[in-house]
Amino acid sequence: MSTVTFREALIRAMGDALEEDERVFLFGEDVAAAGGSFKLTEGLLERFGPKRVRDTPISEQAIIGTAIGAAVMGLRPLAEIMFADFAAVCFDGIANEIPKYRYMTGGQVSMPLTIRMCNGAGGGFGAQHSQSVENWFLNVPGLKLVVPATPADAYGLLRSAIRDPDPVLFFEHKSLFNTKGELPDAPAPIPLGLAETVRHGEHVTVVATQMMRHHAMRAADELAVAGIEAEVIDPRTLVPLDYATIAASVDRTGRLVVVQECPNSGSWGATLVARLVGERLEHLDAPPALVGAPDTPIPYSGALEELWIPSVERIVEQVKRTVSY
């Protein structure tokens, strides 16, 4: 067991995947010679050479088009879109081409590709470079959406994503790159669609992903002082979603608070609340609550950006309201 950063876990996962399967190759803007804009691919060019680790022009359409063609021909492309926000530039390829190949060919053509994207606010990158865009793809059947929060999850989920026979969008939160955590000496892939209960509690179920998982855990520590024991669940993947684990927790606690770094309208959290209300209303002792961001672009100002991001204090306040309902 060793302590590594989120960044180091990603690099190790990509290196192990490249070493394991010669069909895997990595490409994107500045991923080779520069080691990635966020140094997420550092050292991989030196290990695997320019045929396996390739720089591309600044063209998201070209990156996604190449990934489609390579996957159709039997390779396992690992494409990087530098900022998740730039998925809008190549949205047609991701939403209207990639997820439909297997279906439209009657299973004759698979699409085993992984697209890595850096998402999330907190770095002062402004409205066009700070969004959590997972919700853009929530209504596109055929895509798997992965949202790791720890170094161990980053490693294990990325290994599973690259091995998956279907397309996976893998979101890496920019504010997590330097966070540290334990990684086994021989880490194993983590199955997609398996949530983790990171804290057990009896009074309320709190569901959160990526940076919000860490905020939720700090909030749970504060709530415990006040006598409220929160159960914190990290879905780890939004599609497939481990609904069974979340539902079983809500059945026990009778209360649900979802924390997400995005506006609530049309979000994965709103979808989860709607499903739970529709299927398990009799198990709820209080209305489910969403702690999200305002329906505004993400401010560039550091002070305003901090107010935009759901805080530990907001989570604590909402949980207390839900428990006292």
* Tens digits of residue pLDDT in 32-91: 999 999 999 999 999 999 999 999 999 999 999 999 999 999 999 999 999 999 999 999
Catalytic residue chosen out of the listed positions 129, 203, 214, 215:
129
First to last CA, the chain: 44
* Tens digits of residue pLDDT in 265-286: 999 999 999 999 999 999 999 9
- Does residue 57 have a cis bond before it (omega within 30 degrees)? no
Q: pTM for this structure? A: 0.96
Read off the DSSP letter of residue 297: P
Q: Which domains does the chain possess?
A: 2-183 (3.40.50.970), 196-323 (3.40.50.920)
* Tens digits of residue pLDDT in 150-185: 999 999 999 999 999 999 999 999 999 999 999 999
Q: What is the pLDDT of residue 1?
A: 87
Q: What is the pLDDT of residue 228?
A: 98
Q: Is the pLDDT assigned to residue 310 strictly greater than 90?
A: yes
Q: Which tokens go with 251? A: 């059945």
Taking residues 309-314, report their average pLDDT. Answer: 98
Q: What is the pLDDT of residue 294?
A: 96
Q: Which spans in the chain are helix H?
A: 6-20, 44-48, 60-72, 91, 101-104, 151-163, 210-225, 243-253, 268-280, 302-308, 312-323
Active site residue 129: yes
* Tens digits of residue pLDDT in 212-270: 999 999 999 999 999 999 999 999 999 999 999 999 999 999 999 999 999 999 999 99
Read off the DSSP letter of residue 210: H
Q: What is the pLDDT of residue 221?
A: 98
